[in-house]
């Protein structure tokens, strides 16, 4: 029997679509760039500044394709994934450039495609058709990476590990309420929505307190408790580990059965889709860290950041036999760890910030026992909110930074209104990073800190001189060269 017209059409469509997939890979080369970091690390500002500089032909001397004049045109294009929210570039630019305010916090994943038309650097390449590269930039919360270990755990293992962590001396204070409630809860009692909610709320409050204290990515699962995206209040997020579990299969209708079901739903409907649909498709990755905040937090905060970096790098560099290793069909071949907000320092300290961050990354890589190949470190400012100057005081010349403190900032008793500019001496970072890593306290000195003032985004008229304006930055071009330069040859 010959196929009916409808089914014939369907088949034709499928065949056409397959062809389209292959063809788009061949003729429209693309690269997926993941941008992550804990909340407030600077993801939104980084992506906005990157795109703004590319679209407006910004000063990017270390981005080779731009410097040599090979970039012919740059445009935003429709992103390939219809179900992922678009990165709201225009709104963020309006805030940064139009109003000189920092963009609002973003709470979930988003994506944007930017396409570069370029001329090949080689004579051979130029003989062929002009080059085209689409960059799909994916912004996702670092908090979500913490869920990876859950995929290999069942509810009993999850509960046991959570309990063990909650009893650690550093965490016990934060976990007190949740532990007390969990200990009073009988897992075989009938399932009750209010009990589940109270436990989930206490557990979330405990995780949040740890995160605020440690700045860590590690051991804070479930990540969506901290960064729920659009799932806030849903049953898949209303569960908690339990203590004193009933061994074996819990009775139907019991609290434990309910919690187990929700834990499995969280894994199936939240964690797996994120790793399958987003994480495993990335080609390159930048991880933004607020290293200055850790430096000001002292050796413990630095150690926490180092641990966090190890955990994150372990998900990008999984062991060959690990669960994730088997899940990854392609590999993220370049990872850039970027210490953000370097404009809080005078340029003499930029390399030092980089050296301190590099030391943390080296130690982290060593701890997880992986190779550091393909991993680089940079200190950058996506948006440079300050300018440099020197002031003379008592015959000495002091390197200072000049900017407009945001309304409400107070420096040496003076209140700022968001309009007035000021010069600040931020302090220097030491040339030798050792002082931050002296875990035995042999030097006994408190390592140097820096003064961090929150400045407004820059006044573009000051920097652009009336020509095409693009957001000023520090080393954004070097980051770009590392992340995509090799794809534009
Ligand atoms: N001076 C300066 N401040 C920055 C820079 N990048 C980020 N910031 C500051 O850091 C804050 C957070 O930046 P975002 O880009 O919103 O951070 P995020 O990682 O997207 O944060 P969430 O959306 O909350 O996850 C901003 O509001 C700024 O105050 C920078 O390059 N220079
Ligand atoms: Mg954001």
Best residue among 34, 35, 37, 42 to mutate for probing ligand 1's pocket (most ligand atoms within 8 Å of CB) is 42
Band (pLDDT 50/70/90 cuts) for residue 231 is confident
Band (pLDDT 50/70/90 cuts) for residue 239 is very high
> How far is C-alpha 276 from the chain's CA centre?
18
Say yes or no: 257 and 282 in one domain: no
Band (pLDDT 50/70/90 cuts) for residue 12 is very low
Say yes or no: 169 and 131 in one domain: no
Say yes or no: 133 and 152 in one domain: no
**What token pair was written down for 464?**
């652009």
> How far is C-alpha 182 from the chain's CA centre?
32
Say yes or no: 339 and 484 in one domain: yes
Q: Is the pLDDT of residue 286 over 90?
A: yes
**H-helix or E-strand spanning residue 381:** none
pLDDT of the residue at 8: 41
pLDDT of the residue at 171: 85
Say yes or no: 132 and 246 in one domain: no
Q: What is the pLDDT of residues 375-433, one digit of tens each?
A: 999 999 999 999 999 988 888 888 899 999 999 999 888 999 999 999 999 999 999 99
Instruction: Please indicate, yes or no, if residue 427 is contained in any of the structural domains.
Output: no
Could you say which of 270, 289, 312 is where a domain stops?
Answer: 270
Instruction: Please indicate, yes or no, if residue 431 is contained in any of the structural domains.
Output: no
- The closest residue, in CA terms, to atom 30 on ligand 1 is 341
Say yes or no: 332 and 478 in one domain: yes
Distances from the Cα of 32 to the Cα of 21, 90, 165, 169, 261, angstroms:
16, 21, 35, 41, 34
In which domain, by residue range, is 75 found?
A: 8-140+278-384+474-488
The more confidently predicted of residues 130 and 47 is: 47
Atom of ligand 1 nearest to the CA of 473: 31
Could you say which of 270, 298, 319 is where a domain stops?
Answer: 270
Say yes or no: 342 and 232 in one domain: no
Residues with CB under 6 Å of ligand 1 are 37, 39-45, 102-103, 105-106, 141, 340-341, 343, 381-383, 385, 454-455
Say yes or no: 128 and 234 in one domain: no
Instruction: Please indicate, yes or no, if residue 218 is contained in any of the structural domains.
Output: yes
Instruction: Please indicate, yes or no, if residue 127 is contained in any of the structural domains.
Output: yes
Instruction: Please indicate, yes or no, if residue 357 is contained in any of the structural domains.
Output: yes
Q: Is the CB of residue 401 less than 8 Å from the CB of residue 426?
A: yes
> How far is C-alpha 61 from the chain's CA centre?
25
Q: How many angstroms is it from 290 CA to the middle of ligand 1?
A: 9
Instruction: Please indicate, yes or no, if residue 3 is contained in any of the structural domains.
Output: no
- The closest residue, in CA terms, to atom 21 on ligand 1 is 40
Q: Which ligand is nearest to the CA of 143?
A: 1
Atom of ligand 1 nearest to the CA of 380: 31
Q: Which ligand is nearest to the CA of 95?
A: 1
Best residue among 37, 43, 45 to mutate for probing ligand 1's pocket (most ligand atoms within 8 Å of CB) is 45
Quickly list DSSP for 275-308: HHHTGGG-SEEEEEE-HHHHHHH-HHHHHHHHHH
Say yes or no: 13 and 125 in one domain: yes
Say yes or no: 217 and 336 in one domain: no
**CA–CA separation, 385 and 405 (whole Å):** 10
Atom of ligand 1 nearest to the CA of 139: 20
pLDDT of the residue at 7: 40
- The closest residue, in CA terms, to atom 8 on ligand 1 is 42
Q: What is the pLDDT of residues 298-318, one digit of tens each?
A: 887 888 888 888 888 888 877
Band (pLDDT 50/70/90 cuts) for residue 26 is low
CATH assignment at residue 116: 3.40.50.300
pLDDT of the residue at 280: 85
Instruction: Please indicate, yes or no, if residue 30 is contained in any of the structural domains.
Output: yes
Instruction: Please indicate, yes or no, if residue 83 is contained in any of the structural domains.
Output: yes
Band (pLDDT 50/70/90 cuts) for residue 20 is very low
Band (pLDDT 50/70/90 cuts) for residue 323 is low
Q: How many angstroms is it from 103 CA to the middle of ligand 2?
A: 8
Query: Cβ–Cβ contacts within 10 Å for residue 321, how many?
Result: 7
pLDDT of the residue at 395: 87
pLDDT of the residue at 9: 44
Q: What is the pLDDT of residues 135-145, one digit of tens each?
A: 999 999 988 88
Average pLDDT over residues 98-108: 92
Q: What is the pLDDT of residues 162-217, one digit of tens each?
A: 999 899 887 889 999 999 999 999 999 999 999 999 999 999 999 999 888 765 55
pLDDT of the residue at 449: 85
Q: Is the CB of residue 388 less than 8 Å from the CB of residue 402?
A: yes
Domain count for the chain: 2
pTM of the entire structure?
0.88
Average pLDDT over residues 361-386: 93
Say yes or no: 266 and 185 in one domain: yes
Say yes or no: 284 and 238 in one domain: no
Q: Which ligand is nearest to the CA of 227?
A: 1
Kindly report the average pLDDT of the chain as a whole number.
87
Q: What is the pLDDT of residues 246-263, one digit of tens each?
A: 998 999 999 999 999 999
pLDDT of the residue at 5: 37
């Amino acid at each position: 029997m010959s196929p009916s017209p409808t089914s014939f059409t369907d088949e034709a469509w499928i065949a056409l679509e397959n062809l389209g997939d292959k063809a788009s890979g061949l003729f429209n080369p693309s690269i997926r760039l993941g941008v992550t970091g804990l909340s407030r690390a600077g993801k939104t500002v980084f992506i906005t500044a990157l795109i703004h500089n590319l679209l407006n032909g910004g000063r990017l001397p270390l981005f080779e394709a731009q410097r040599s004049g090979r970039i012919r045109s740059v445009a935003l294009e429709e992103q390939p994934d219809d179900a992922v929210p678009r990165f709201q570039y225009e709104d963020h630019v309006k805030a940064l450039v139009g109003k000189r305010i920092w963009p609002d916090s973003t709470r979930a994943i988003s994506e944007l495609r930017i396409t570069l038309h370029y001329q090949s650097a080689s004579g051979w390449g130029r003989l062929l058709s002009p080059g085209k590269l689409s960059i799909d930039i994916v912004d996702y919360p670092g908090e979500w990476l913490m869920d990876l270990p859950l995929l290999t755990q069942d509810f009993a293992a999850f509960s046991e590990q959570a309990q063990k962590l909650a009893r650690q001396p550093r965490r016990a204070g934060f976990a007190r309420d949740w532990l007390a409630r969990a200990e009073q809860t009988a897992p075989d009692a009938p399932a009750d929505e209010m009990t589940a909610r109270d436990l989930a709320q206490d557990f979330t409050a405990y995780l949040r307190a740890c995160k605020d204290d440690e700045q860590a990515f590690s051991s804070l699962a479930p990540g969506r408790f901290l960064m729920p995206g659009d799932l806030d209040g849903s049953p898949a997020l209303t569960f908690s580990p339990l203590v004193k579990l009933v061994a074996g299969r819990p009775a139907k209708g019991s609290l434990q059965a309910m919690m187990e079901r929700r834990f499995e739903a969280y894994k199936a409907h939240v964690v797996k889709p994120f790793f399958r649909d987003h994480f495993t498709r990335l080609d390159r990755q930048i991880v933004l860290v607020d290293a200055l905040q850790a430096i000001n937090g002292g050796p413990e905060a630095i150690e926490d950041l180092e641990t966090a970096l190890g955990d994150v790098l372990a998900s990008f560099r999984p062991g060959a036999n690990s669960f994730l290793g088997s899940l990854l069909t392609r590999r993220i071949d370049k990872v850039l760890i970027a210490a953000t907000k370097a404009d809080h320092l005078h340029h003499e300290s930029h390399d030092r910030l980089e050296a301190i961050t590099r030391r943390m990354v080296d130690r982290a890589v060593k701890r997880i026992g992986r190779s550091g190949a393909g991993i680089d470190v940079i200190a950058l400012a996506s948006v440079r909110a300050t300018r440099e100057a020197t002031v003379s005081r008592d015959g000495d010349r002091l390197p200072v930074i000049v900017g407009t403190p945001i309304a409400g900032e107070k420096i040496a008793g003076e209140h700022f209104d968001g309009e007035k500019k000021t010069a600040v001496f931020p302090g220097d970072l030491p040339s030798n990073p050792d002082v931050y890593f002296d875990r035995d306290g042999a030097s006994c000195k408190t390592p140097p800190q820096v003064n961090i003032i929150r400045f407004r985004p820059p006044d573009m008229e000051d920097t652009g001189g009336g020509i095409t304006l693009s957001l000023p930055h520090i080393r954004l071009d070097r980051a770009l060269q590392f992340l995509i330069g090799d794809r534009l040859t």
